[in-house]
Structure 1
Amino acid sequence: MARWLTVLSSLLLAFVLAGCDPVAEIVAPAEIAPQTDTTFEARMLPEFAAKEATMEEFRWDFGDGHTASGKTAQHRYAEPGTYEVTLSVVDASTRQWGQAYVSKGTFTVRAPRSAPAPWTASVQPGACEPSGQGRDYQVGTQAGQLASLNDVPWEALQAGDTVRIFHRAEPWRGKILIAAQGTAEQPVRVCGVKGANGERPIIDGDGATTRAALAPLYGHPLHQSRSVLVIKTLSGQAWQDYPRYIIVDGLEIRGAHPSHTFTDASGAVKPYEAFGACLWIDRGHHVVIADNEIHDCTNGLYAKSTDDGDFAVSTDLRITGNRIHGNGIVGDDHMHDIYTAANGIVFEFNHIGPQRPGAGGNAIKDRSAGTVVRYNRIEEGAHAIDLVEAEDFPATATALPAYRSTWVYGNQIVKSGNTGSVIHYGGDHYGANPDDGWGEPIYRKGVLYFFNNTVQVTGTEFAALFQVSTTEERVEAFNNIISFDPANPYPRLRMGSEVGSAWTSGGIVNLGVNWVSAGWMDSDPWHPVGGQLNGTAQLLSGPVLPVDPATLMPLAGSAVVDVAAALPAAAEQHPVLFQLDAAFKAAPRAPRGGRGDLGALER
């Protein structure tokens, strides 16, 4: 009898030590960096979702000697390495036996890989002059110049060529196709020679004609009917070809809108497509779009990427110093001032928005990896900045570490809260299953670094700063000035998103030192938000706006002067070096006090 009791005791001991099968999976970012707060979430397996309310305790062992508790927990690994994370979930039935439902996962912590400096960062277009390394095509009214845009052999441009379009009182009514393959030393440039008072030459899509020689080279007819200027391969080129090292600057581009018509290469008069752009990048590597005015189109600027291969991913784009406004279609929210998908894109020194009156799109809608939005003036839009999933190249984007980090800093953002949240981060297609290749599984699932921005939220309804799609997305917000119009009854820092049942909306928002209007709230009483809002004790607040409401410049002696926190280690590669002057042009920024000011402007 004693022997059987011993055997039974041994079996019970083995049962207790072994634990029970998992009821939850461990969800964490695909890329984990050392010295960075990382969110771990216990997500109930579908077959146990109905029992979530009966779970009494969630215990975490992060494999480095540290533990935590809670359905969601944050942890910071000190060193790179591979760690086994153990999640133990306890309910009443397991507690009586001293057991838990155990899930395990292996996670690799590695320092972020630094990408080489993009070629576009070194480009300063300057005056529209020939490069001296290729042909110089001049479009103008003087003797010896080409009389129209259609006289330019767009299909034959080569490395080092320059197309100079001279200002005249009458717009140039033509279409441009750039398929050239420049080099880093010999880029292809299409630029405007400005008038005596700085007027840009106008390229007008309304009434434009297409060069006849391009008829067989555009490919699909859509390429003619949806843009004024397109960067794409020629029909007949190798499938893996792509335009590269392209600069477009100093032009006013307008008129690709269904209310306008053009004459195509065959001589037929046609309206523009409802979904198009003033400037459409179908594919292109190392492209600079600088100092242009882009307006009166469906989308202002559009950039496309697909999963067909690296050649089909628009790469290293720099959008700098442009005035982009007045685009969209009335009553439609699918067209935006900027709509981009790329690997490596920088928006800087631009003045963006508002859209066409009655249009419902965003100022910036971006589906890229490695997105940097800095030193811009951004006005209105359903969202001022909409940072969502890479729906057309998910396999490529989700494999890129840069997809998990997005940088928004030094911007002036002025927007009505009545039309939507200011910043949307994560994704916009929802209702997928966890193993699907669309929707929530391909959301950003990373960190939005949001710092040194000045945000002015107007309106009288449900204003909200952040709309973070799921708890797999995180925001690190510091050194910002956030002002809500006093007429707004619910000045919220967060609002929820519609997501599938396998996800929790609301995100993780970590606050550093920020100034926010008195009366702020996490969410309104009728729309509670999941996730976490952390660091509220560090907020500065008050009823008196600490900036000039017209210029957004900090007021002398106000609470936002000389109180900025130092950049965290993760942001050291993005120092705040510039700001916009009163004309929204780039100007150097340097702290006048010891610590610098909050917001986008240094007093």
Structure 2
Amino acid sequence: MDSMMDKTRARRVRMLWASTALALGAALAGCSGGSEDTSSGGTTPSPSPAPTPTPPVETLALGACEASGKGTDYQVGPGKTYTALDQVPWESLKAGDTVRIFYSSTPYKGKFLVAAQGTQTAPVRICGVRGPNNERPIIEGNGATTRSALLNAYGNTAETQDIHQTRSVIVVKALANGTYTDYPTWIQIDGLNIRAAHPSYTFTDASGATKNYVQFGACVWIDRGQNILIADNEISDCQMAIFSRSTDDGDFMVTKNVRIAGNYLWGHGIAGSDREHTTYTQSVGLVIEFNRYGPLRTGALGNAVKDRSAGLVVRYNRIEGGARSIDMVEAEDFPVTATALAAYRSTFVYGNQFKKNGDDGSFFHYGGDHFGAPAGANWGESLFRQGVLYFFNNTVHGTGANARLFQISTTLERVEAWNNVFWFDASVTSLNLRQAENDSLSTSYTPDGILNLGVNWIRSDWTDTDVWHTLKGQVIGTTNLLTGSSAPFDTSSFVPNASSTIIDAGQAGPSAASAYGVNYQLDSSYAPVARTVKGAAIDLGATER
């Protein structure tokens, strides 16, 4: 059920999106300072510069769930033309069509496939019409039924039909009985409560058979598609919330321009497994913004955000839990496509609130996760990001006993970090800037990467790494760090404390990130609000006082 906080947040999200273009102004210029080398490895190479991608500026304009007037209005709900999801002709949706799912006190136990080809001016929208208390209509995977007419749309063989049906509640993919190179375009799924796809749950497939969900799947699985918006949903109790897939089989198999925005994602993963995450994405042009990531399922070992994309932007989110907060690694399934793009070499993470137990793993991993490739191999280190992670105006709250902030794969990866706040509870007795990377790396690559620090605030008893490791990369600019022994912000609201040294302490970042302004922040209900600099300079962290 929606809490009062969630209701308030949803209203503010919709108001913001309906009235505000998410344009990013030029706010930062220049370079972060510092030249101190505290490593023992001497001089190490820096990544080759790559052109900086243009920031996302598209207006979301997420209004009420109403028919667009440019296609058919499919209404689903009590007393409507369609009373169940399996009655909707999903296989026939066209540009401009709207599927409006009205709130019902009884969850809709249904699964479906979206294959339509919308346009920019006439997208295909599947949206929820809220109930009297602002409740989202519930799409329930446990006990769901599937439209029989979708059987051949899921796959051309019994095996492929089974694969695509057992993975998800909602799948975005081309019709298997259509043209092979087709792919869905301009699809919007918003305002729904999507839940309950887990191996312990069953559903009825399109042939009428009862099946269990497989372990590696998601509530929403984007198998292929371009210009996909997943927004303002609550997604819970699945293997993963959202998965996007890309391969090198052709442009039609690359998911592009995917936005995951304003959702509440929680309770995902598989107990005892580190392979399933809250979101797991492989796309070109991916924006993750304004979301609230709640903790994973009890016992799950996955990450909050796992990404293998080119052109990743993660901004203005509240991200809790996970083995890692964000795991940014190589493009495993579409390396030829990804490594040819300049956007693969630049990743932007800013304006986020992070909270997790540091004992579960490093907070931020950048580079790759398949090690030991010899020179010239078409796997492993040669496919790593080999670029720059721009990490700024984030606030991190660590719990547990240990904290390892950045894990940087090789010296061909660099992290530029400025205007951040890193606070750790008193229980954290080992506070490290960096974690050692895999020791089994081949001799062709040098592990541990480069961390270049502008002005940041961190608890005063920090160290570079633990006493058991000597890192081979570099940390630069430690003289720029501001330190203290108590939290400089309210750990509930993340608002800077009055008279804190983080107020007005922000500095300009690298010129390559100058177009990425910090224009929003999250309020106490995790809703986005405009961020205005109130003093001589921007405050450190994700929230302006």
Report whether the alignment pairs 1:129 with 2:66.
yes
Read off the aligned partner of 2:516 and give its amino acid letter. Answer: H
Could you list the per-position Cα deviations for residues 372-418 of structure 1 after superposition, in whole angstroms to 9, with x for gaps in the alignment?
00000000100000000000000000000000000000000001001
Partner of 1:489: 429
From the superposition, tell whether residues 71 and 477 of structure 1 become closer, same or farther in structure 2 (CA, over 3 Å). Answer: closer
Matches within 5 A, 1:302-451: 302-451=243-392
Read off the aligned partner of 1:72 and give its amino acid letter. Answer: T
Corresponding residue SS for 2:71: coil
Partner of 1:141: 78
- Which of 150, 158, 163 is the equivalent residue of 2:99? 163
Report deviation, 1:566: 2.2
From the superposition, tell whether residues 586 and 152 of structure 1 become closer, same or farther in structure 2 (CA, over 3 Å). Answer: same
CA distance in 2, matches of 1:450, 1:303: 24
Matches within 5 A, 1:177-576: 177-219=113-155, 220=160, 221-460=162-401, 462-498=402-438, 499-576=441-518
Report deviation, 1:421: 0.4
Corresponding residue SS for 1:72: coil
Native 8 Å contact 2:275 2:302 kept in 1:
yes
CA distance in 1, matches of 2:326, 2:139: 28
CA distance in 2, matches of 1:572, 1:36: 10
Read off the aligned partner of 2:281 and give its amino acid letter. Answer: T
Partner of 2:11: none
CA distance in 2, matches of 1:150, 1:411: 39
CA distance in 1, matches of 2:471, 2:540: 27
Q: Work out which of the two has the higher radius of gyration on C-alpha atoms and give 1 or 2.
A: 1
Native 8 Å contact 1:566 1:595 kept in 2:
no
CA RMSD of aligned residues (A): 1.8
CA distance in 2, matches of 1:487, 1:206: 40
CA distance in 2, matches of 1:115, 1:519: 38
From the superposition, tell whether residues 466 and 114 of structure 1 become closer, same or farther in structure 2 (CA, over 3 Å). Answer: closer
CA distance in 2, matches of 1:480, 1:153: 49
Report deviation, 1:501: 3.3
Read off the aligned partner of 1:138 and give its amino acid letter. Answer: Q
- Identify which range, 202-211 or 547-556, moves more after superposition: 547-556
Read off the aligned partner of 1:594 and give its amino acid letter. Answer: A
**Unpaired segments of 5 or more residues in structure 1?**
1-34, 38-57, 59-69, 76-106
Report deviation, 1:487: 1.9
Corresponding residue SS for 1:124: coil
Report deviation, 1:145: 2.5
Partner of 2:4: none
TM-score normalized by the length of structure 2: 0.90
CA distance in 1, matches of 2:486, 2:214: 48
Native 8 Å contact 1:159 1:181 kept in 2:
yes
CA distance in 2, matches of 1:192, 1:520: 47
**Unpaired segments of 5 or more residues in structure 2?**
1-29, 33-40
CA distance in 2, matches of 1:417, 1:452: 20
- Identify which range, 524-533 or 421-430, moves more after superposition: 524-533
Could you list the per-position Cα deviations for residues 37-85 of structure 1 after superposition, in whole angstroms to 9, with x for gaps in the alignment?
9xxxxxxxxxxxxxxxxxxxx9xxxxxxxxxxx652569xxxxxxxxxx
Sequence identity (%): 54
CA distance in 1, matches of 2:93, 2:244: 21
The structure whose RCO (Cα within 8 Å, separation 6+) is larger is 2
From the superposition, tell whether residues 126 and 149 of structure 1 become closer, same or farther in structure 2 (CA, over 3 Å). Answer: same
CA distance in 2, matches of 1:286, 1:141: 31
Report deviation, 1:299: 1.2
Corresponding residue SS for 1:288: strand
Native 8 Å contact 1:464 1:494 kept in 2:
yes
Report deviation, 1:545: 1.2
Corresponding residue SS for 2:369: coil
Native 8 Å contact 2:53 2:343 kept in 1:
no
Report deviation, 1:567: 3.5
CA distance in 1, matches of 2:462, 2:363: 15
From the superposition, tell whether residues 487 and 430 of structure 1 become closer, same or farther in structure 2 (CA, over 3 Å). Answer: same
Corresponding residue SS for 1:217: helix
Read off the aligned partner of 2:406 and give its amino acid letter. Answer: F
- Identify which range, 497-506 or 295-304, moves more after superposition: 497-506
TM-score normalized by the length of structure 1: 0.81
From the superposition, tell whether residues 491 and 113 of structure 1 become closer, same or farther in structure 2 (CA, over 3 Å). Answer: closer
Read off the aligned partner of 1:130 and give its amino acid letter. Answer: A
Native 8 Å contact 1:305 1:314 kept in 2:
yes
Corresponding residue SS for 2:337: helix
- What is the number of residues matched between the two proteins? 503
Report deviation, 1:433: 1.0
CA distance in 1, matches of 2:324, 2:281: 15
CA distance in 2, matches of 1:151, 1:325: 29
Could you list the per-position Cα deviations for residues 452-508 of structure 1 after superposition, in whole angstroms to 9, with x for gaps in the alignment?
000011101x31000011111000000000012222221000011113332222110
Read off the aligned partner of 2:454 and give its amino acid letter. Answer: G
Could you list the per-position Cα deviations for residues 432-463 of structure 1 after superposition, in whole angstroms to 9, with x for gaps in the alignment?
11211111110000000000000011101x31
Report deviation, 1:236: 2.0
CA distance in 2, matches of 1:159, 1:470: 46
CA distance in 2, matches of 1:339, 1:132: 34
CA distance in 1, matches of 2:469, 2:52: 39
Read off the aligned partner of 1:524 and give its amino acid letter. Answer: D
Partner of 1:600: 542
Report deviation, 1:115: 5.2
